[in-house]
Amino acid sequence: MSGDNAFVVVANRLPVDRVDGQWVASPGGLVAALAPVLKRNSGCWVGWPGEPDATFSPFTHDGIRLQPVELDADDFEEFYEGFSNSTLWPLYHDLIVTPRYHREWWQRYRAVNEKFARAAADAAAEGATVWVQDYQLQLVPGLLREMRPDVTIGFFLHIPFPNPDLFRQLPWRTQVLRGLEGADLIGFQRRRDEANFLDLAASDPEAHTPRTGTFPISIDASEFDKADDAAITKVRELVSNPRTLMLGVDRLDYTKGILQRLTAIEELLEEGRLESAALIQVATPSRERIDSYKATRAGVEEAVGRINGRYGKLGRPVVHYEHHAVPKSQLRNYYSAADIMLVTPFKDGMNLVAKEYVACHPDGSGALVLSEFAGAAVELNRAHVCNPFDVESVKNSIVSAIEAQDSPAARDAMVQMNAHVREHDVSRWAEAFLSELAAVRRNR
Ligand code: ADP
Ligand code: F6P
């Protein structure tokens, strides 16, 4: 069976969330970048609506056709929490926690990937282009290739691709590789990720390596600009007008190094190297039933309490902690008000938060402390780079960012990074991938 969509996006999640019975656009640049392509090409987005055991018919939201894929409670546990986020996520992020290998999870991953592939095959018109997203769906290209040899298939990996020696731990490594090879083009965030994949494929005598490329993802820069002075003043007043306002914005995930940045701040306070400073730490709840996420949250919240107990005063905590999602307009105010942004992941495919912060400082204000292990460090190469595994390095980067504040060099660095992000936004990313995919298609 074939559908009538000339362009199909397949992602684990639909670009909408159900809030009080209504569909609302979920925040994220991907849909902003792809919406014009979807609308132009009578396109469709295949994905999971985010609720287990809920059946929804296909519908249109904001001019985009959405094709829900139903996941039941067992799929949620074994495919989403299990294989995707307790096996692949830690393996692809270089074993920050130990990946868990379970045969039932693998079987469920395969079955759910089949469901997505079937839905994509049904939605795609003859000769359509199908773009599959991310590590949750690595078998879809191979499965879809068998179901629909006529379609052109792109795959983009939003997270890092590990060194082959790590990847080879995976008991189902061959099947995953075969799944990816169904794509006509595989896109990665960094050259390093692409090189890891090519090294792996080169060592497999059976591999049919598809075309690969490096396409660093970005943000919808039109959504982020400096907030007005009144909004900035309000944020700073809410946190009692510290001399230095620091900010962290992350999903509460062990890859993000939130505890390590808190430890760095606590040690700087102990050593008297940080005066009149406050941190706003926004942490979005994420994958909350998984033990390693529970442990990360406990560690972060204990540190927040301890630091405030040791160094805060009544009405003047050092760390202002929010464990919930924040509207984009409010995030923009936080980004604009912050003197120093702390982005300290142990490993991150890209880290869009770093780019969002930079986009909010066109005037050269602010400073970015950035882990060398974030994909964003390749482009945002004038940040204060740190190694999150080395607390002294994080401390020194924070201090150097504070000391350099308002210097011509610091302003120049922010202005230059801002121009880079504005020019290389998410639409440009989508165009680059899709035009390369179109070139591969012409040569097929
Ligand atoms: P990841 O994809 O691993 O979560 P990124 O930094 O690449 O990390 O992207 C996170 C996205 O989620 C950014 O667009 C950021 O603005 C958004 N985000 C993170 N925390 C929050 C929050 N508390 N409220 C709203 N949006 C958030
Ligand atoms: O960037 C990696 C990623 O898993 C995306 O696929 C996803 O949109 C985001 O992080 C949030 O994760 P989740 O969908 O598990 O809440």
In the chain, the amino acid numbered 293 is Y
Which ligand neighbours the alpha carbon of 324 most closely? 1
Q: How far is the CA of 244 from the centre of ligand 2 (A)?
A: 31
Q: Is the CB of 159 under 6 A from ligand 2?
A: yes
| Nearest alpha carbon, ligand 2 atom 14 | 13
- In which element (H, E) is residue 178 found? helix 173-181
Q: What is the pLDDT along the chain (444 residues), one digit of tens a residue?
A: 578 999 999 999 999 999 888 999 887 768 777 887 888 877 999 999 999 999 999 999 988 999 999 999 999 999 999 999 999 999 999 999 999 999 999 999 999 999 999 999 999 999 999 999 999 999 999 999 999 999 999 999 999 999 999 999 999 999 999 999 999 999 999 999 999 999 999 998 888 889 999 999 999 999 999 999 999 999 999 999 999 999 999 999 999 999 999 999 999 999 999 999 999 999 999 999 999 999 999 999 999 999 999 999 999 999 999 999 999 999 999 999 999 999 999 999 999 999 999 999 999 999 999 999 999 999 999 999 999 999 999 999 999 999 999 999 999 999 999 999 999 999 999 999 999 999 999 888
Any atom of ligand 2 within 6 Å of the Cβ of 158: yes
Q: Would you give the end-to-end CA distance of the chain in angstroms? A: 23
Cβ neighbours of 244 (radius 10 Å): 18
Q: Which residues contact 407 (CB under 8 A, 6 or more apart)?
A: none
- Tens digits of residue pLDDT in 48-79: 999 999 999 999 998 899 999 999 999 999 99
Q: Which atom of ligand 1 is nearest to the CA of 350?
A: 7
**191 and 222 in contact (C-beta within 8 Å)?**
no
> Is there a contact between 130 and 153 (Cβ–Cβ < 8 Å)?
yes
Where do the H-state alpha helices sit in 21-157? 29-40, 73-75, 89-92, 103-123, 140-147
Instruction: State phi, psi for 392 to the nearest 5 degrees.
Output: -65, -35
- Nearest of 416, 216, 231, 182 to residue 337 by alpha carbon: 231
pLDDT at position 145 is 98
Kindly report the protein residue whose alpha carbon is nearest to atom 18 of ligand 1.
Answer: 250
pTM score of the predicted model:
0.97
- For ligand 1, whether the C-beta of 330 sits within 6 Å is no
Q: Which residues, in sequence order, are CB contacts of 59 under 8 Å at separation 6+?
A: 23, 65, 66
Q: 249: CA distance to ligand 1 center in Å? A: 7
Q: What is the pLDDT of residue 32?
A: 74
Q: What is the predicted pLDDT for the residue at 29?
A: 64
Token pair of 14 as six digits: 């639909």
For the stretch 210-237, pLDDT in tens is 999 999 999 999 999 999 999 999 999 9
β-strand partners of 46: 10, 67
Q: Cα separations (Å) of 255 from 85, 174, 292, 425?
A: 12, 26, 11, 24
Q: Is 296 exposed, middle or buried (0-12, 13-18, 19+ CB in 10 A)?
A: buried
Is there an atom of ligand 1 within 6 Å of 286 CB? no
Do 9 and 45 form a contact (C-beta atoms < 8 A)? yes
Taken in order 181, 187, 191, 196, the sign of the CA dihedral is negative
* Partners of 25 in the β-ladder: 16
Reference 379, options 434, 423, 322, 420; nearest CA is 420
Residue 248, SS3 per DSSP:
strand
